[in-house]
Amino acid sequence: MKKNYRHTSFIFLFVLLLIFATTFSIISVDARKHHHTKKSKIHHKHKKQQKNGDGNKAPNCTNSPSPALSPSPSPSHGFYPTQSPIFNIISFGAKGDGVTDDTKALDAAWEAACKVQGATLEIPTEFQFLINPITLQGPCMPNFVFQVDGIILAPPKVGSWPKSSLFQWLNVKWMYNFTIQGTGTLDGQGYNWWKLSQIDYFQVMKKSKNTPDVKPTVLRFYGSYNVTIRDIKIINSPQCHLKFDNSKGVKINNVTISAPEISPNTDGIHLQNTQDVEIHHSNIGTGDDCISIQTGCSNIHVHHLNCGPGHGISLGGLGKDKSVACVSDIIVDNVNLQSTMYGARIKTWQGGVGIVKNISFTNIQVSNVKVPIMIDQYYCDKHVCKNQTGAVEISNVKFNQIIGTYSTKPIHLACSNSIPCTDVDLIDIQLKPSTNYRGINQLGLCWNSYGKSQAPLLPSSMDYCVRRGSGLVRGISRSHEHVCL
C-alpha cells in the first residue's frame, strides 16, 4: 500500500512538472511574439510617419521637399548618416519662368529654412526666377546654405523699383555661419540703369513718383559674421555688385563678377566697416573698382585675383566731407590687372581725418594699365573741388614687385602738402610703356612722399620718387592716430 502511494505521488509530481514546463514554453513564445509584434508596429509607425510627414508624400531631399519640412531626429545608434534638409524654391510656389514674380516664394522658403540647422535653400538649375527687392533676414540657425544653381533676375524696368528699395536688391541682414554657393547667377539686369542720362533717370523716376539719387547693389550684407561666398556669378549690377557693411569673417572664393566697361560705378566688391576678409581665386571685370576698400576695414587679404576691365584695386575714396577714415592691415598679392584704369591705388579726399597704414601690394602683374601705382590725396569726382589743408594720414605702404606695362604713366604719388605720406617703399618695380602708350612723361608725378626705394627700378628715375627721412616728418600727423583707436 505504501509502495503504491509512493508510486502514485511520483507520477503526480511528474505530471505537474510537465504541465509547468509546457505552460512556461507557451508564455515565452507568446512573449516573444508580443515583443516582435510591438517592434514591428513601432517600426511600421515610424515608416508611416516618415512617409506621411504632415499628411503629404515624403519629400525627396534631392528634388522638391515639402514647405513644412522639419529637421529629422538623429539616429539613436548613429548607424545612418544624416542629410541636410533641402528647401527647394519650386516647392514654395515659384514658377521659375523668368517672368512671373517669385518673390513671395523665395521669402517663404527663406523663412522655413531659417528655422532649421544645416538647412539648404535651393535655387534649382535650368530655371530663372524674377525676384523683386527683398530683405533676407536672420539670425537663422547655423550652417545655412543658399544654393544658387539657377538664375535669379532683378526687375529690368527702372521705374518699377520702389523708392524704399533702391539701395540694394538682395539685402541679407544679421546672418551667422552662412554660405552662398553654386553654379548659378545673380543678374542685376542693369542695362536700363546705365543707359539713362541723369536727366532721363530723374524723368523716369518722376513718373513713378520717386526721385532717388542712388542705384541698387545686387547683393548686400549687413551685420553678418562668418559668411562664405563661392563659385557663383554676379553680373550686370545697376551699381555695386557685392557689398559688405559692418560684417566680420568673410571668405569669397572662385567668384565671377562682371559688367561692361562702360557701366558706371559698378564696383565688383565693396567693403565698409568690415574686418577679417579673404578674397581669392576670383575674376572681376566691371566699370569701376574691382575691389573697393572703405573706412573701418582691417585685416583684408586679396590674392590670386584677375581684375579687368575696371579701375583696379582701390582703398577709398576716404575722408569725404571731412569724415574720419580708418583703414589698416591690407594685403594684396598675386593679382593680375588687364587694361584697367589704375592698378594699386589709395585715394583720399582733402580735409579728411584718420589714418591708412600697413598696406602691402606685392607681386602685381599689370598689362596695359593706365597708371599702375597711385596714391592720390587730392581725389575729386567733380570738375573742381575746394582746396583744404587737412588730410587722411598715409603711412607704411609697400609697393613690391609691380611688373608689366602702362599706357599713361607708371606712377602717381600726390601726397598732401600738410600731411606727407611716410614709409612708402618702392621695391622691384619694372614698368614699361605698352603698345598703347600715349603719355609724354615716363616718370609720372611724385609729390611729398617719404620712404625708400630698392632696385631693380624701371624707369630708373623712379628712384627719386620717394624722399629719405620719413622719421623727420612722421610726427606731424601723430594726432590722427587716436581717432582710429
Active site residues: 288, 311
DSSP string for residues in 56-79: SPPPPTTS---TT--PPPPPSS--
| Contact in structure between 196 and 158 (CB atoms under 8 Å) | yes
**Structure-block grid coordinates of residue 208:** 513713378
Which residue matches cell numbers 605720406?
421
| CA distance linking residue 379 with residue 370, whole number of Å | 17
Angstrom CA distances, 287 to 279, 341, 400, 475, stand at: 19, 10, 26, 39
Which residue matches cell numbers 533676375?
153
**Structure-block grid coordinates of residue 329:** 592691415
Coil, strand or helix at 101: strand
Instruction: For the chain, give percent helix, strand, coil, nearest 5.
Output: 25, 40, 35
| Contact in structure between 101 and 130 (CB atoms under 8 Å) | yes
| CA distance linking residue 482 with residue 485, whole number of Å | 5
End-to-end CA distance of the chain: 116
